[in-house]
Every structure is written in C-alpha cells, then in structure tokens.
C-alpha cells in the first residue's frame, strides 16, 4: 500500500537532483531545466498533501505553479537567447562582467 511517505521521499529525491543540477552544471540551459525539475517536485508534494488530507487546495496551487512556470520559462528562455546573441556563450562561468 502506497503511503504519503513514499510520495514525499520521491519528491525530496527529485528536488535534490534538481539542486545538484543547478549547483554542479555550468550550462545555462541545464540549470534552467533543473529549476523546472525542482518546480515539478514541489508540485508532486502539493498534490500528495491534497490527496492525503482530502482538500483540493493542493491541486489549485499546483495549477498556479504550472502557470507561473510557463511564464518563467518563456521569459527565461528569451533572456537566454539574448545572452547567447550578445556573448556567444551559454556557460554561466563566462558571464562574469560584474565580478571584481
């Protein structure tokens, strides 16, 4: 029988894989996709809580997170394309103009 703990552990594992992706990879696109993965893990935990407490608020919040992720994806990718156009690179290490 699948309990709430199963889903929450899965959500935590996915979230931490996303954190690894953001911290270890230097490619901007992979960082962006890892952020999407983290949002998905949070969606999973919201929906799990909704099911195990019989309230639909979790579903509504998951819907809002998805709409927000869509808006963020659009703007983030537009910025990424502009960065590539101006600097010809998508490595986060090369965007160091504000350092020192």
Partner 1 sequence: MELVIFYTLAAVSVAGALLMVTRKNPLAGALALVVSMAALAALFAMLHAEFVFLLQVLLYAGAIMVLIIFTIMLLNLSPQELKERPVGKLKGLVIIAATVVGFIGFIRVLLQLPEGVRFVSPTFGNIEEVGALMLTSYLFPFEVISVLLLVAIVGVVILAKKVI
User: Which residues contact partner 1 by CB under 8 A?
Assistant: 1-10, 12-14, 16-21, 23-27, 29-30, 32-34, 36-37, 40, 43-44, 47-48, 50-54, 56-57, 59-60, 62-64, 66-75, 77-82, 84, 89-91, 93
Answer yes or no: are the C-beta atoms of 78 and 59 closer than 8 Å. Answer: no
**Distance (Å, whole) CA 36 – CA 63:** 14
Sole residue written with tokens 């929906």? 47
Nearer to partner 1, 54 or 98 (CB): 54
The tokens describing 31, both together, are 């960082």
Residue 87 Cβ vs partner 1, minimum distance, rounded to whole Å: 11
Rg of the chain taking only CA atoms, in angstroms: 17
Nearer to partner 1, 81 or 100 (CB): 81
């Amino acid at each position: 029988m699948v309990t709430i703990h199963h889903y929450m552990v899965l959500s935590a594992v996915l979230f931490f894989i996303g954190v690894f992706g953001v911290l270890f990879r230097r490619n901007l696109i992979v960082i962006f996709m890892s952020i999407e993965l983290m949002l998905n893990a949070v969606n999973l935990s919201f929906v799990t809580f909704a099911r195990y407490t019989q309230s639909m608020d979790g579903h509504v919040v998951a819907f809002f997170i998805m709409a927000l992720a869509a808006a963020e994806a659009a703007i983030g990718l537009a910025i990424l394309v502009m960065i590539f156009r101006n600097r010809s690179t998508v490595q986060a290490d090369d965007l160091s103009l504000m350092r020192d």
